[in-house]
Amino acid sequence: MWRKSQVSEIPKDAQIAVFWDIENVHDDFRTHENMMKEFREAGRVVRSYAFADWDSRRRMGEHLLEVGFDLIHVPSSMQNASDIKMGDYIIEHMSRYPDTNCYVLVTGDGDFLVLTGILKLRGYYIWLVSNPLYTSAELSSLADKYNDMKSFRRLEFKEPETVEERVKPMQSRADRRKRAAVRLQETVGKILEAENKPGIGWAKHVMVSLNPDFDERDLGFDSWKDFVDWAEKKGYVIQEGEMP
């Protein structure tokens, strides 16, 4: 079973290039393997690059070589060096591989906003993978497809450990709604702490990332917006400005 993720149609016969800012987002080895597997299932991976200071990440580097990444070494002493190097490679790739029609950016760094906008204007399909809590809301708005890095993790079913857990009565819908609203409050707080914008759409990405079992439909709401409107009426959150 897989975690939920935001999905949209990817081009048929996709020619894919992957650019990964390791310092910005990474997970465990199995997650990385699953992520690369999904890229390959979506189309032909033309090139895949991972940018980091590999002197301090030798074991991860060996693993990523095995799954097909080219390792681009960027000394950590150079400020924003990974961002600059990755940007250079993206620009060069556009010239050298004109048949590439899908760019996978594994990063949430707002420094890639302008370059991603250029890719978008040129008609390329943008697939963004990141940790939503630390992702630029403006960057995410340019993506045709988005995955939380955690969405590539395998979920294991766990039996209740005790008899008490097995027979524990289900909470009422009203109680579950209240608990979800508190989690929404916490989600918005974490987004603000990360100095990001808690737009209604992006807040859901973070909410699901922090609470993988959340689904507003289980609480009787037809949509995420209905849930947020209800939470506002109950005084848990306040909506301001235009909906992104």
Q: What is the 3-state secondary structure (H, E, C) of the chain?
A: CECCCCCCCCCCCEEEEEEEECCCCCCCHHHHHHHHHHHHHHEEEEEEEEEECCCCCHHHHHHHHHCCCEEEECCCCCCCHHHHHHHHHHHHHHHHCCCCCEEEEECCCHHHHHHHHHHHHCCCEEEEEECHHHCCHHHHHCCCEEEEHHHHCECCCCCCCCHHHHHCCCCCHHHHHHHHHHHHHHHHHHHHHCCCCCCHHHHHHHHHHHCCCCCHHHHCCCCHHHHHHHHHHCCCCCCCCCCC
> CB of 153 within 8 A of CB of 30?
yes
If you average pLDDT over residues 15-35, what whole number do you get? Answer: 94
Average pLDDT over the chain, rounded to whole?
Answer: 85
Burial group, residue 123, by CB count within 10 angstroms (0-12, 13-18, 19+)? exposed
- 3-state SS, residue 159: coil
Residue 196, Cβ neighbours under 10 Å: how many? 22
pLDDT at site 195? 66
Each domain of the chain, given as residue ranges in start order, spans 14-152, 172-233
pLDDT > 50? residue 1: no
Looking at residue 169, what is its pLDDT? 57
Evaluate if residue 77 carries a pLDDT over 80: no
Identify the band that residue 2 occupies on the pLDDT scale cut at 50, 70 and 90.
Answer: very low
Residue corresponding to tokens 């993978």: 129
- Over range 164-192, report the average pLDDT: 77
Q: For 86-106, how does the pLDDT look when each residue is reduced to its tens digit (9 = 90+)?
A: 999 999 999 999 999 999 999
pLDDT value of position 155: 58
Q: Which tops the pLDDT comparison, 159 or 21?
A: 21
CATH superfamily of 14-152: 5'-nuclease (3.40.50.1010)
User: Is residue 194 pLDDT above 80, yes or no?
Assistant: no
Higher pLDDT, 200 or 74: 74
* pLDDT band (50, 70, 90) for residue 3: very low
Contact 208, 202 (CB under 8 A): no
pLDDT for 157: 44
